Amino acid sequence: MTDGLRIHDLQTGYRKKKIINGLTTPLLPRGDITALLGPNGSGKSTLLRALADLNPAQGELLLNGEDLMTLPSATRAQKVVYLPQSLPQGVHLHALESVIVARRASGSAYGHNVEQEAYAILEKLGVAHLAMSFLDQLSGGQKQLIGLAQSLIREPDLLLLDEPLSALDLNYQFHVMDIVARETRLRNIVTVVVIHDINIALRHAQYALMLKGGELIASGLPGEVVSPTSLATVYGVDGRVEYCSRGLPHVVVDGVIP
């Protein structure tokens, strides 16, 4: 089976500091959201940046059987889209225009009604009313939603989202995760999302990787990855997984392990 993303012996970091050294993962499936879990400093964002060709890296990154490390940067950028925690500051474009620019940058906009596609994406995300607003006048949460629109319209094979929910209220957190799950499934792509809220990962992700200190501690179904043992080992908390009246899992933390 080659459909999906397989990471083998990945080494990456910043300048002379190695953050991840020899990371190997099982196949991350297409059509599913993979939640990237772990405490601050565990290497989650570093891993995403390496996948996006933004950090120097060594090893194999096999996407649908093709090694991303061997591709020209322009070709890799068409296959892999990375959304950072925040968009660049001071960009004075209308939201709609920024999504149109992202679509054209994907290299596959010829013959399409790009403006119509861009507006449709904004409608899906519930932010069509911001189409003519300038990016530098939007709130942090609104910018994240526009950034997600820019990412989806580029039609990637691998979508990388670094804490896309951090500036969103509770309503939009669920709304965005539902959309990401639906688009991931419809487009049959690999989506990797850094999520700090473990309960959101349990509710919305179909697969999970848990990191600590740049090492893979656990991988598999979120309900298997998140356990009292992994919560203690990775997060240093005394926690448990309970089930609500609808049968949905959630983490309860009883205290910090001294």
Beta strands in the chain (DSSP E): 5-14, 17-23, 33-37, 57-63, 66-67, 80-83, 158-162, 190-194, 207-212, 215-220, 237-243, 249-256
Question: Token pair for residue 78?
Answer: 């068409």
Q: What pLDDT score does 10 carry?
A: 97
% the chain with pLDDT above 70: 97
**Phi, psi (degrees; rounded to nearest 5) at 197:** -80, 105
Residues 177-201, mean pLDDT to the nearest whole number: 94
Domains and CATH numbers, the chain: 5-226 (3.40.50.300)
Average pLDDT of the chain is 92
Whether the model clears a pTM of 0.85, i.e. scores above it, the answer is: yes
Q: What is the mean pLDDT of residues 15-33?
A: 93
What's the CA gap between 192 and 174, in Å, rounded? 17
Phi, then psi, of 39 in degrees rounded to 5: -70, 170
pLDDT digits (tens, 9 = 90+) for 197-239: 999 999 999 999 999 999 999 999 999 999 999 999 999 999 9
What's the confidence (pLDDT) of residue 2? 61
- Mean pLDDT is highest, among 137-141, 163-167, 168-172, 191-195, for 191-195
Q: What is the pLDDT of residues 82-141, one digit of tens each?
A: 999 877 776 788 999 999 999 988 766 555 688 999 999 999 888 999 999 999 889 888
* Mean pLDDT of all residues in 40-58: 95
CA distances to 58, 140, 218, 257 from 224, in Å: 30, 33, 9, 21
What does the DSSP 8-state code read for residue 25? -
Sorted by sequence, the CB contacts under 8 Å of residue 90 that are 6+ apart come out as 136
How many angstroms from the chain centroid is the CA of residue 69? 19
| pLDDT value for 144 | 87
* Tokens 């997984």 found at: 241
Q: Enter the tokens of residue 144.
A: 């994240």
